[in-house]
Chains A and B, each alone.
Chain A
Amino acid sequence: MAEKITSRSSDYSQWYLDIVKGAGLAENSDVRGCMVIKPHGYALWERMQRALDRMFKDTGHVNAYFPIFIPKSFLAREEQMAEGFAKECAVITHYRLKAVPGQGLVVDPEAKLEEELIVRPTSETIIWNTYRNWIHSYRDLPLLINQWANVVRWEMRTRLFLRTAEFLWQEGHTAHATQEEAEAEARQMLEVYRTFAEDWMAMPVLTGPKSEGQKFPGAVYTLCIEAMMQDRKALQAGTSHFLAESS
Chain B
Amino acid sequence: MKQPSGKICTVISLMFIFILVYVAQNKLDAYLIRILNLGAMYVTLGVSLNLIYGFTGQFSLGHAGFMAIGAYVTALLVLPPYYKEVIFMLEPLAWPLNVIHTPFVVALIAGGVLSALAAFIIGVPVLRLKGDYLGIATLGFAEIIRIVLNNIPHITNGALGIKGIPEYTNLWWTMGIAIFTIYIVKGLISSSYGRALMAIRENEIAAEVMGVNLTYHKVMSFTISAFFAGVGGGLFACLLTTIDPKAFRFVMTYNILIVVVLGGLGSITGTVIAAFLYNFLLESLRPIEAGFNLGPMHFPPIPGLRMVTFSVLLLILILYKQKGLLGGFEFSWKWFFQSIKKVFKPKKTTEGSTL
A binds B: no
Which residues of A line the B interface, CB within 8 A? Answer: none
